[in-house]
Amino acid sequence: MTAERIVILGADAAGMSAAHEALRTADRQGRSIEVTVLERGRHTSYSACGIPYWMAGDVRSADDLVARTAEQHREAGIDLRLGVAATGVDPAGRTVATADGAVPFDQLVVATGAHPVVPDWALDDDGTPLDRVGAVHTLDDGEAWLERFAVAGAGARVVIVGGGYVGVEVAEAAVRRGFEVTVVTRSRVLSSLEPEMSDRVATAMTDAGVEVVLDAEVTGLDRDADGTVTAVRWDGGSRPCDLVVVALGVLPSTGFLEDSGIPLGEKGALMPDARGRVTERVWAAGDCCDSVRRLTGDRVYRPLGTHANKLGRAVGANLAGGRRTFDGILETAITRFEGGGQYVEVSRTGLSLQDARAAAFDPVTLVTEGTTASGYQPEAEPIALWVMADRITRRLLGVQVVGGRGAGKRIDAAAAVLWHGGTVDDLAWMDLSYSPPFSTAWEVLQVAARRVAERI
Amino acid sequence: MTAERIVILGADAAGMSAAHEALRTADRQGRSIEVTVLERGRHTSYSACGIPYWMAGDVRSADDLVARTAEQHREAGIDLRLGVAATGVDPAGRTVATADGAVPFDQLVVATGAHPVVPDWALDDDGTPLDRVGAVHTLDDGEAWLERFAVAGAGARVVIVGGGYVGVEVAEAAVRRGFEVTVVTRSRVLSSLEPEMSDRVATAMTDAGVEVVLDAEVTGLDRDADGTVTAVRWDGGSRPCDLVVVALGVLPSTGFLEDSGIPLGEKGALMPDARGRVTERVWAAGDCCDSVRRLTGDRVYRPLGTHANKLGRAVGANLAGGRRTFDGILETAITRFEGGGQYVEVSRTGLSLQDARAAAFDPVTLVTEGTTASGYQPEAEPIALWVMADRITRRLLGVQVVGGRGAGKRIDAAAAVLWHGGTVDDLAWMDLSYSPPFSTAWEVLQVAARRVAERI
C-alpha cells in the first residue's frame, strides 16, 4: 500500500495542527500517510498574538514565541520545507505549483494564513515599504520594531494607524516603552465593542497619556527632503511623528488560488465547512478562512489563532479518517490595555447590536456596573458589562466586558451560555463560583444578566 | 382589600432577598402585601463569607461586611424586628410562636440560616464556650477573633480544627497575621476536591509554613489548672496552642420546626421545591435548606450565600405573584490560600468521582497541567485541572482547578457547560477567549477537556 500524500500549505498554527493531528489519527487508524508542509517563510508555529508583548518587553526573544521549531516538527515525521511558496493549485490534477516545480498531493490543506493590509501611503513610489513605517504581523516585523524602538529612543513619537486589537496592544507596548503615542482610528477604539464600552477603553488610554483620534481616515504621510517620514495626515488633522505602526487588519493570503476554481468568499477567504473541507480533496484552516457564526449561521472573516488551532486539528483528524467538526465561532475575544498608570481588561462574545438587528432579533441591551470582588475586599476592581438578549426567545445574544484585573476572563462563562443557545435567565441564575476575593455574592455577570432579564 | 401578611424568619441573605423581591413584585403586580421580618440576632444582611478576610485584615470593620443596615431595610417598607426568635410554627393556624406571643401570617418564609457545629470538647462542662476557642460564623465571632488575635500577639499558636473552606480561609488569615498555624482535618484539605487536587492545596499550605494534619479526628483539648486551653488532642497526636478555631461546618437552624409537621431532610434541612415552597403557605430559602443537584436530581446540604440570594429572590417573587424557579446547583465553589509566600486559587464544579459512580455514571478522569497565560508571558502561572466526563454520553460531569492568579474563576465556563448538560467536547471546542496575557492559544481548560475527550 502506498502512503497517501498529504500536502499542507503553511507551517503556522492551522497547518501544523493539521499536520500533527493527521499523523496521530493515521497512526490510530492504521493508515499510511506522508505529510509534506510547504512554508513560504522561514518560521513555523509562532505566536503572532505575542508580538505586541515582545515589543512591550514582556517576552525575551523571538524564540520564546515559537511553539515548535522546524526541527521539532521534522522529528515528528513531517517533511517540512521552508522558503517554498505555492504559486497555484490544480485540484483536478492534484498538484501544487511552486517555483521549484509541481508537488503532487492526494489531499491538500490550505493554511497560508493572512497578510497585513498595507495602504499605498505606507509604501514608496516603487512599492517598497517606507523606513520607520511597518505592520505587526511576522517575527521579522517584531524584530524590526524592536530595532526601530531602540534607535528612536525614549520620548520618540509613535503614531499607530488602526484602533483594533493589534492597535491597542501596540499602544500598550509603546506607552510602556516610554514613547509619546497617538492612535488614529477610522471609527472607534475596538470597534467590535458597542460605543458605550469602546468609550471606556478610549478613556483609559487617554488617561494613560495616549492621544486617541477617532473617526479619522489616514490619507498620507509627510516626508522631509531626505524622504524621512515626519508626520501622519488624516482628514482634518495631522501629527508629527518618528515612527508609524500600520495596524489596519489582515486579509487572507489566497491570491495564488485565484485560478484554481476553489471558491473564495468575502475578502478572498476560503470557506471551509464544519469538517474543514472546501472542495474535493482540498481542506482549509486558519487565517486564510472565514468562519461560521454559531448564532446566525452566516460567514464572517475573523482570523484568530485559537480558531486556527481548532479547525486545523479538526482538518488533520478528518483527512486521516477521524471525525471532528468545528461548530462555529462566537466572536469571543479578549485583550487589555496596561500602561501610564492604567489597567483595563476588555472582552466580548456574541453579536453586536447592529448584527443582532440585521439577523432580525429583537434585542434588549443594558450596561451594568459593579465590582470584580466583594466591595469590601482589596481585590475589588470596577467592571462594566453590556448584555444583550432577544425579547421573544429570551436567548442571550452578546456580552461585552470592560474592567480591572479579573474582569476579562469572565466572558468565557457567557460564551459557554451562547455556545449552548442558553437564555439570559440561564446566565443570571446558573451556579457560578462565589467567594469574596473573586466575586460579589451575586456574581456581577449574573447581576448584569438579571437586569436585562427583568427588562424583557 | 386587606394586605396579605408575609412573615419572614431571618434577616440575612435569603430572608432579605425574599423581602425586597416580594415588595418589588407585589408593586409590579398591583398586590397589597405587608412584610414582617423576625431576626433572632442583632445584625442583618452581612457577609459571613467575608469574616475570614476581616480576620486577615483585608476588611476594615464589621460595617463593611453589612450589605444593608436595619434602617435601610426599614426605609424600604419592611417591618424588621431584631432580637425576635421564632420558637415554633403552626402552619394550619398560620402563626409563628415567639417569646413575645404569636405572629400571624398568610405566607411564611423560613430563612433562619445555619449554626456552626461545636463539639462537646469545645464547651465547658456546663455547655458554655471555652475561652480562646470559637467558631467563625457571625459578626460577633469575627469581633471576638480580632480581640483574641490582638491579645495573643504575633507568634501565637493557632490550631484550626477543620480543613474545609472556612478552615483554609482562616488558615490564610492566621498565617498573614504572623501566627504559627496548624490545621487538623478529619480527611483531607478541602475534601470536596479529588485527592490529587486536594494534595496540591495541602502542599501550598505546608510550603507556607502551615502544619497540615490529615485524617485526624480531634478528641479533646488539654487545659491547665486555671482552665486555660493549652493543647488540641487527636487520635495519635496533639499540638500545644494558644487559640483554637472550630471550623467543622454548619447545620440548618431548624430546631424550632420540630413539632411543626413541616418535613425536614438530612441534617434537619428544609427541602424547598424549585419555587422555594415547602408546604402550604410556607416557603424556605438559604442555609436552612438543602438543594437539588442539577446533574443527579438528588438533594444535598450545601449552604452558600449565592444560593441563599438566588432562592431567596425566587421565593420573594413567587409568593407575591411572580414566576421564578431555582433550577438546582452544581456545587460550584471557589477559594484561595494566600500567605507565607504562597498563592493558590482553588475551584470546583459538578460531581466528585465518588458521586459520579454513585449516580451510575461511567466516569473518565484526568489531571492536566498547564499555564494560565501563554508560557512566554510574565502573567503565566501554573494551573492543574481535573476533568471528569461520562464514557457513554460524553457528558461533562465535573471540573476542579488549582493554580496561580487567574486560575480559579475559569471554573465558571465549566459550570456553564454543566448547567446546559453539555459534553466534554463542548468544553474542549467552544469559542473561549484567547490573548497571550490571559490564556494559551488552546485555553488550558479546553486542553484539559480535550485530553479527557481523547480518552473516551
For the stretch B39-89, pLDDT in tens is: 999 989 889 999 999 999 999 999 999 989 999 999 999 999 999 999 999
Q: How far is B140 from chain A (nearest CA, A)?
A: 18
Question: Can you say whether residue B74 is alpha, beta or left, with left for phi > 0 and alpha for psi between -120 and 50 degrees?
Answer: alpha
What is the layout of strands, in order, in the sheet containing B396-403? B333-339, B342-350, B396-403, B382-390, B363-371
Query: A with B: how many residue pairs have Cβ under 8 Å apart?
Result: 218
Question: Least CB-CB distance to B58: which of A327, A377, A432?
Answer: A377
Put simply, the answer to whether B333 touches A304 (Cβ < 8 Å) is no
As a whole number of angstroms, the distance between CA A183 and CA A167 comes to 7
- Collect all residues of chain B within an 8 Å Cβ-Cβ radius of residue A347: 433
Average pLDDT of chain B is 96
Q: What is the CATH number of the domain that holds A416?
A: 3.50.50.60
Put simply, the answer to whether A433 touches B334 (Cβ < 8 Å) is yes
pLDDT for A450: 98
Element holding A70 (H helix, E strand): helix A70-75
| pLDDT band at residue B1 under the 50/70/90 scheme | low
Give the residue from B205, B220, B248 where a domain finishes.
Answer: B248
pLDDT for A181: 98
Put simply, the answer to whether B294 touches A431 (Cβ < 8 Å) is yes
Residues 307-336 of A with CB under 8 A from B: 307, 309-310, 326-336
- Which of A21, A24, A329, A433 has the most B C-beta neighbours within 10 Å, making it the best mutation to test the interface with B? A433
A139 shares its domain with A233: yes
Residues 72-91 of A with CB under 8 A from B: none
Put simply, the answer to whether B431 touches A332 (Cβ < 8 Å) is yes
Over residues A288-339, the pLDDT tens digits come to 999 999 999 999 999 999 999 999 999 999 999 999 999 999 999 999 999 9
Average pLDDT of chain A is 96
Put simply, the answer to whether A417 touches B416 (Cβ < 8 Å) is yes
B156 shares its domain with B305: no
As a whole number of angstroms, the distance between CA B296 and CA B286 comes to 21
Chain A CB within 8 Å of residue B245 CB: no
A209 shares its domain with A94: no
Mean pLDDT of B445-451: 98
Cβ(B302)–Cβ(B339) below 8 Å: no
Residue A324 lies in a domain: no
Mean pLDDT of B338-348: 98
Q: What are phi and psi of B65, to 5 degrees?
A: -85, -10
Put simply, the answer to whether B430 touches A415 (Cβ < 8 Å) is yes
Q: What are phi and psi of A116, to 5 degrees?
A: -70, 145
Element holding B234 (H helix, E strand): strand B229-234
More confident residue, B45 or B32: B32
A257 shares its domain with A110: yes
Q: Which of A169, A172, A160 is CA-nearest to residue A213?
A: A160
Q: How far is CA A358 from the centre of its chain?
A: 23
Residue A326 lies in a domain: no
Put simply, the answer to whether B412 touches A415 (Cβ < 8 Å) is no
Over residues B144-202, the pLDDT tens digits come to 999 999 999 888 999 999 999 999 999 999 999 999 999 999 999 999 999 999 999 99
Pick from A61-75, A174-188, B350-364, B392-406: least confident: A61-75
Residue B71 lies in a domain: no
Give the nearest chain B residue to A322 (CA atoms). B454
Q: How far is CA B281 from the centre of its chain?
A: 28
Give the residue from B231, B248, B265 where a domain finishes.
Answer: B248
A15 shares its domain with A94: yes
DSSP codes of every residue in A80-125:
EEET--EEEEETTTTEEEETTEEEE-SEEEE---EEE---GGGB-T
B290 shares its domain with B238: no
Put simply, the answer to whether B413 touches A416 (Cβ < 8 Å) is yes
Question: Least CB-CB distance to A377: which of B53, B67, B376?
Answer: B53
- Collect all residues with Cβ–Cβ distance below 8 Å to A128 and sequence separation of at least 6: none
Put simply, the answer to whether A408 touches B438 (Cβ < 8 Å) is yes
- Collect all residues with Cβ–Cβ distance below 8 Å to A206 and sequence separation of at least 6: A212
CA-CA distances (angstroms) from residue B13 to A181, A360, B424?
48, 40, 34
As a whole number of angstroms, the distance between CA A445 and CA A100 comes to 56
- Which of A343, A348, A401, A435 has the most B C-beta neighbours within 10 Å, making it the best mutation to test the interface with B? A435
Element holding B251 (H helix, E strand): strand B250-252
R_g of chain A computed on alpha carbons: 23
Question: Least CB-CB distance to B332: which of A58, A406, A433?
Answer: A433
| pLDDT above 90 as % of chain B | 95
The residues of A that are catalytic are 49
pLDDT for A160: 98
A345 shares its domain with A438: yes
A195 shares its domain with A281: no
Q: How far is A432 from chain B (nearest CA, A)?
A: 5
- Helices marked H in B83-233: 139-152, 165-176, 195-207
A110 shares its domain with A255: yes
Over residues B165-174, the pLDDT tens digits come to 999 999 999 9
Counting the structural domains of chain B, the total is 3
Cβ(B418)–Cβ(B350) below 8 Å: yes
Question: Can you say whether residue A328 is alpha, beta or left, with left for phi > 0 and alpha for psi between -120 and 50 degrees?
Answer: left
- Collect all residues of chain A within an 8 Å Cβ-Cβ radius of residue B165: 435
As a whole number of angstroms, the distance between CA A123 and CA A210 comes to 26
Mean pLDDT of B236-261: 97
DSSP-assigned beta bridge partners for residue B80: B37
Q: Which amino acid is at B86?
A: A
Put simply, the answer to whether B306 touches A432 (Cβ < 8 Å) is yes
pLDDT for A1: 61
Q: How far is B261 from chain A (nearest CA, A)?
A: 31
- Collect all residues with Cβ–Cβ distance below 8 Å to A92 and sequence separation of at least 6: none
DSSP-derived letter for residue A251 is: E
Chain A CB within 8 Å of residue B58 CB: yes
3-state SS, one letter per residue, for B311-379: HHHHHHHHHCCCCCCCCCECCCEEEEEEECCEEEEEEEEECCHHHHHHCCCCEEEEEEEEECCCCCCCC
CA-CA distances (angstroms) from residue B74 to A181, B71, B318, B394?
53, 5, 22, 51
Chain A CB within 8 Å of residue B64 CB: yes
As a whole number of angstroms, the distance between CA B313 and CA B318 comes to 9
- Collect all residues of chain B within an 8 Å Cβ-Cβ radius of residue A349: 431, 433
As a whole number of angstroms, the distance between CA A315 and CA B323 comes to 47
Q: How far is A415 from chain B (nearest CA, A)?
A: 6
Residue B235 lies in a domain: yes
A17 shares its domain with A126: no
Chain B CB within 8 Å of residue A432 CB: yes
Put simply, the answer to whether A434 touches B410 (Cβ < 8 Å) is no
Q: Which of B89, B100, B91, B90 is CA-nearest to residue B9?
A: B89
- Collect all residues with Cβ–Cβ distance below 8 Å to B315 and sequence separation of at least 6: B14, B18, B21, B22, B109, B272, B275, B276, B283, B284, B285
Q: How far is B307 from chain A (nearest CA, A)?
A: 8
As a whole number of angstroms, the distance between CA A303 and CA A267 comes to 12
A237 shares its domain with A255: no
Give the residue from B319, B354, B374 where a domain finishes.
Answer: B319
As a whole number of angstroms, the distance between CA A328 and CA A311 comes to 10
- Collect all residues with Cβ–Cβ distance below 8 Å to B420 and sequence separation of at least 6: A416, A417, A420, A422, A426, B426
Over residues B407-441, the pLDDT tens digits come to 999 999 999 999 999 999 999 999 999 999 999 99
Q: What's the grid cell of residue B73?
A: 431595610
pLDDT for A154: 83
Residues 201-240 of B with CB under 8 A from A: none
As a whole number of angstroms, the distance between CA A264 and CA B406 comes to 40
B387 shares its domain with B426: yes
- Collect all residues of chain A within an 8 Å Cβ-Cβ radius of residue B47: 374, 376, 436, 441
- Collect all residues of chain B within an 8 Å Cβ-Cβ radius of residue A294: 431
Helix axes of A165-176 and A195-207: crossing angle, nearest 10 degrees: 10
Chain A CB within 8 Å of residue B108 CB: no
Give the nearest chain A residue to B305 (CA atoms). A441
Element holding B456 (H helix, E strand): none
Question: Within 13 Å of residue B94, how many CA atoms lie on the same side as its CB?
Answer: 10
Residue A217 lies in a domain: yes
Mean pLDDT of B358-367: 98
Q: Which of B29, B8, B106, B9 is CA-nearest to residue B320?
A: B29
Residues 332-371 of B with CB under 8 A from A: 332-336, 345, 347, 349
As a whole number of angstroms, the distance between CA B76 and CA A388 comes to 30
Question: Least CB-CB distance to B409: which of A332, A406, A431?
Answer: A406
As a whole number of angstroms, the distance between CA A126 and CA A312 comes to 37
Residue B55 lies in a domain: no
- Collect all residues of chain B within an 8 Å Cβ-Cβ radius of residue A441: 13, 47, 49, 67, 305-306, 309
**Residue entry with cell 480576620:** B55
Q: What are phi and psi of B180, to 5 degrees?
A: -85, 120
Neighbouring C-beta atoms of residue B209, cutoff 10 Å:
14
- Collect all residues with Cβ–Cβ distance below 8 Å to A273 and sequence separation of at least 6: none
CA-CA distances (angstroms) from residue A261 to A255, A291, A315, A436?
12, 20, 21, 59
The strand ranges marked E within A247-315 are: 250-252, 277-279, 282-284, 291-292, 299-300
Which ranges of chain A have pLDDT less than 70? 1
Q: How far is B425 from chain A (nearest CA, A)?
A: 10
Residue A331 lies in a domain: no
Give the nearest chain A residue to B443 (CA atoms). A306
Chain A CB within 8 Å of residue B374 CB: yes
DSSP-derived letter for residue B405 is: T
Q: What's the grid cell of residue B134?
A: 470559637
Global pTM? 0.97
Give the nearest chain B residue to A427 (CA atoms). B416
- Collect all residues of chain A within an 8 Å Cβ-Cβ radius of residue B436: 47, 49-50, 53
Q: For residue B300, give its domain range.
A: 4-41+83-114+251-319
- Collect all residues of chain B within an 8 Å Cβ-Cβ radius of residue A60: 376
This complex has an ipTM of 0.97
Chain B CB within 8 Å of residue A164 CB: no
Residue A327 lies in a domain: no
| pLDDT band at residue B2 under the 50/70/90 scheme | confident
Give the nearest chain B residue to A423 (CA atoms). B420
As a whole number of angstroms, the distance between CA B115 and CA A244 comes to 65
